[in-house]
Amino acid sequence: MLSYYGTLLEQRKSRLKEIEGRVLQIRDILKDEKKRLQKKSGKSKLKIRDKEK
């Protein structure tokens, strides 16, 4: 019985690593998107300040 669960664990291990890789890719994409949006936000704030002067 124990070897059965060991076999299941081994089969799922590769799938979990694949899922983990995808999650890490998504995390990196979201980090990049957040940085890009923060840069855009900063630029639009500068435009608003320039218009007020």
Spatial distance between the Cα atoms of 47 and 5, rounded to a whole number of angstroms: 61
Please spell the DSSP secondary structure of the chain, one letter per residue: -HHHHHHHHHHHHHHHHHHHHHHHHHHHHHHHHHHHHHHHHHHHHHHHHHHH-
Q: Is it the case that residue 7 has pLDDT exceeding 60?
A: yes
Two structure tokens written together for 24: 């890490």
Two structure tokens written together for 3: 């070897």
pLDDT tens string 9-31: 998 999 999 999 999 999 999 99
Quick one: pLDDT at residue 39?
Answer: 84
Q: Is it the case that residue 52 has pLDDT exceeding 60?
A: no
pLDDT tens string 33-51: 999 988 877 766 666 566 6
Spatial distance between the Cα atoms of 41 and 10, rounded to a whole number of angstroms: 47
